[in-house]
Structure 1
Amino acid sequence: MSAPHWPRVLFVSEQPATVSAAASRYGRQPLLRYIVAMMLTALIGALGGWTMFHQYGAGVATAVVLAVAQSAPLLLAVTRPLQAWWIMMAADLASCAVLLHAPRLEENSWPWPPAVILGQLVLLAAVARRERRPALVAVWVVLTASGLAIATASPHNRDSSDLLLAVLGGGILLVGGALRERHEALQRLGEQRLIAQSERARHALLEERARIARELHDVVAHHMSVITVQADSAPYRIPGMSAAAQEEFATIAVAARHSLTEMRMLLGVLRSDDCDDERRPQPGLDDVPHLVEAIAQAVVPANLVLDDGVEKLKGLIPPTVELSAYRIVQEALANVVRHAPGARTLVEVGLLPDRSSLTILVANAAPQQSSGSLETSSTGHGLVGMRERVRLLGGVLKTGPTLDGGFQVTARLPLPVHPRKETLST
């Protein structure tokens, strides 16, 4: 009898795997901070230049240079407030050295002019927001000691502006540091809450896995054990059984034991957080012939066509691809047993010409008219599971009826390793 013609389903162009749409986050300072910093720089610079020129009697060039040196560090304070404070402190000390010889020093504030006090308070607020307690204490000590030291250079002109800046600056550093520490404490508390929620979710997951394992054991494993025992004992319980019937029961017992083995592995994975059973050898392409042979000895006359290129790629095909291919063939044959018992079935496992993908074809002819479906209702979870496996690998799966009334499953699983053709041909 000539082999039946198997209608093929051609692969059509498909959309590539969806790339993660999560955008990268770049650290950046809000534009508002730079705008505020520029406004404060202009304000303090203008105030400082006007004060030194009109009130202290300094020269125009000197007043402009000192004003710029005292206010420009505010722009750096947006990202590096501590470094900006040291620069401003050096500029303020230079300003005091110049103002010490100003013509109208006796008529104005000493040792800190108003512009210096305003700039220092703004910058201290930025420092308190970013730096930790030891740095804040060091800043306050340097600021206070500098003010007291400069005041002694002209004690008769001192108006306690150094004490005012020390008190106000200390208050800003104290309040700002306390607010920053409170914010950090709230952040740590939020992180601990997230960790606690994650642990609770993980605990709930483990409990659910244990519950599923118990249900699988009670519902499935028990019945599979009964099937195994009954299939093994059938030749001894039923007298006069033919050799073909004994072979049929032996095949059923072997299949039931294999299912029980996989069920025990699954139960071990569900019950164990270490998932040691996942490291056990999983079925692969080497097990497909045994699977087809077991089905052929049952109610489905199945033939297997295995491409020689698959044998040459042995060891280069990832285990996940081999396992998915085995499960697809297994589920497709199981559907034939359920819905088309006795139908002629072809299983083909091959490669595309460019060796970029593994192809799988499971096609059955129309079921015999005298045979009815062994399963009158189906959840369709098998096809859903096949699609999910293929989707995770970035492949293509097509299922559907054929022109002669049968059913066909075709799958293409990409191979990440593409050996050269000349290497494969050797």
Structure 2
Amino acid sequence: MFSDDLRGDEQQLHNIAASVSSERIERDIRKLVSFGTRHTLSETESDTRGIGAARRWIKAEFERISAKCGGCLEVRFQSDVVEGEKRIPDATEVVSVIAVQKGQTDPGRYVVMSGDIDSRVSDVMDAVSDAPGANDNASGVAGALEAARVLTQYQFHGSVVYAALAGEEQGLFGGKIMARKAKEDGWRVKAVLNNDMIGNISGINGVTNNTTARLFSEGTRKTETAEEARIRRFTGGEVDSPSRNLARYIDQIADRYIPNLNTMMIYRLDRFGRGGHHRPFNDEGFAAIRIMETNEHYDRQHQDLRTENGTEYGDTLSGVDFDYAAKLTALNAVSLASMAWAPGPPSNVEIKGAVKPSTTLSWAPVRDSEKELIRGYRIYWRYTDQPQWQFSRYVGNVKEFTLENVVIDNYFFGVASVAKNGLESPVVFPGAAGSFGE
């Protein structure tokens, strides 16, 4: 899924991966744990305990990062009042922290990395008891902070957003607020990488493994209309949503840039009966996936701190492998950089070729802001039972191309934008089923 003739930016991507520090991630996780509990309904006035102290520290940390790059981050709280919900019955301000690194040539195009601020114990309404949340999800927030430290040393064509979202355990409210706001503000969000538990390597299944990670992605888009579903029934696209092709892109990034890391593409929105902060972005029609550890340990999730029959329960620092958290953070950072340096995914991708020996794909020209960035386009195709793109052809800076003697019935197809530096966008499957939006 990437050109073979990458020049300087490929080395930059390797440099980004190598710059992620497990020591800094450990420091941030320890600091987040020190607030005792980060429950959404917990203390907000204390400087040392509760969700209020945690979010103020996160904001201050993003501001420190911004100061080192000459103010390159726009750092702010993002909030709304939630009430009348099962897990937030009384009026509560749900406050997230957002840091935006504006793109140099196409600032209206965004890629996002998120983690969750809040933590919990066995009783989801217990806002008082200690809930360290070391892995779930101080690891994700620490990853977003570290990605910001590394990526703010560079400038990108598109904008990069680092988000510490609140209210996840109470109903994904931070993500709902951010996704709704992004849509209202006209953000062209092309990718959301939600990091929820990226620090545990030893599962309740007895497996210890620090070389794999999971990528969860939805199949068909939630925003699909009845007419779009009818068309998809005949043309395909069930496994080619923008989120699914975003996952394929991240999978290829892992293979190319992250040593000793294999990603599992899970063809499912999330784990059985569970949810994460990528889902609100999917609900608004954005491409969004969940990145997380492969082997979960349920004794360390959503548990009161205790020992029973020799078994320790609770999400404490002992359950976090900081080197592994750094590895998954590097995967995020390289993926964000690659997409922000590349052009946006092609729009209005269409396909034709019924009862013909060849297949023709077409797409819209790039925005004016990307004309100096674009080199051309690459067409991809694969057998319909294959998980990854198998074949490709660079076709130049054109708006239509015919693959001679490649029969439309036998393959799935897609198109990626290619920058002058060789970096590519995620692949776009033709039609509404695969669209990343305008």
TM-score, normalised to structure 2, is 0.21
Higher normalized contact order (CA 8 Å, seq sep 6+, divided by chain length): 2
Q: Which has the larger radius of gyration?
A: 1
TM-score, normalised to structure 1, is 0.21
